[in-house]
Chains A and B, each alone.
Chain A
Amino acid sequence: SQQGEEDPQALSIQEGENATMNCSYKTSINNLQWYRQNSGRGLVHLILIRSNEREKHSGRLRVTLDTSKKSSSLLITASRAADTASYFCATDALRNSGYSTLTFGKGTMLLVSP
């Protein structure tokens, strides 16, 4: 089953605009990670935020985490056409087995038009 749910499922913006994607999850986590995937390709790691962190920046990316609401957001500022891709949040959490693994949401498909 998929723990994370991204919102919106699809987002279409113009170059230069900001893009915000949200992720909600269900259980306690060690960390939350955002990945990017170009069509038919592998996943590229973007940023990791620990459960005791509230905000993190990396270049044009800004991630927030609210563990009380079990939600995270990814903001891409000054978007470019090259940012067109699917974006996934993944939570690193303990499973029933006692081991932690990554669980992904269904993703947000971002289209940035020139």
Chain B
Amino acid sequence: DTGVSQDPRHKITKRGQNVTFRCDPISEHNRLYWYRQTLGQGPEFLTYFQNEAQLEKSRLLSDRFSAERPKGSFSTLEIQRTEQGDSAMYLCASSLGTGGPDTEAFFGQGTRLTVV
């Protein structure tokens, strides 16, 4: 399967713990996005990488959140000191190109985080 893969698929953690999610994009894709989705809502943009450079971060991405894409391939999203409000589906997507009219994004299956 050469699609976007995310790991783990599900994560249950206690409040205050740190968690890290991984995303492996489609291999030739240079753009990578992280989104967060809560029940009944559409995905909300968190951050965007072009190759290894993190070019944009949403205001939703508080100081407790950090994302990396060290070699321009896979990416990690870490949440420190988790809070119950962090419970959501975290989605990763990738696309090829520099933006523009034909940029089609492909999503992974998501990591569902539950903070108890």
Chains A and B belong together in one complex: yes
Which residues of chain A (26-53) have a CB below 8 Å from chain B? 30-31, 33, 35, 40-45, 48, 50-52
Are the CB atoms of A43 and B104 closer together than 8 Å?
Answer: no
Which residues of chain A (58-114) have a CB below 8 Å from chain B? 88, 90, 92, 94-95, 97, 99-107
- Number of A-B residue pairs, CB cutoff 8 Å, is 76
Measured in the bound complex, the distance between the Cα atoms of B99 and A51 in whole Å is 13
Measured in the bound complex, the distance between the Cα atoms of B99 and A48 in whole Å is 13
A-B contact sample (4 more), CB < 8 A, given A30-B99, A41-B110: A31-B103, A40-B112, A99-B55, A106-B40
Name A's B-contacting residues (CB within 8 A). Answer: 2, 4, 30-31, 33, 35, 40-45, 48, 50-52, 88, 90, 92, 94-95, 97, 99-107
Between A and B, 5 residue pairs with Cβ closer than 8 Å are A2-B44, A51-B101, A99-B99, A104-B43, A106-B41
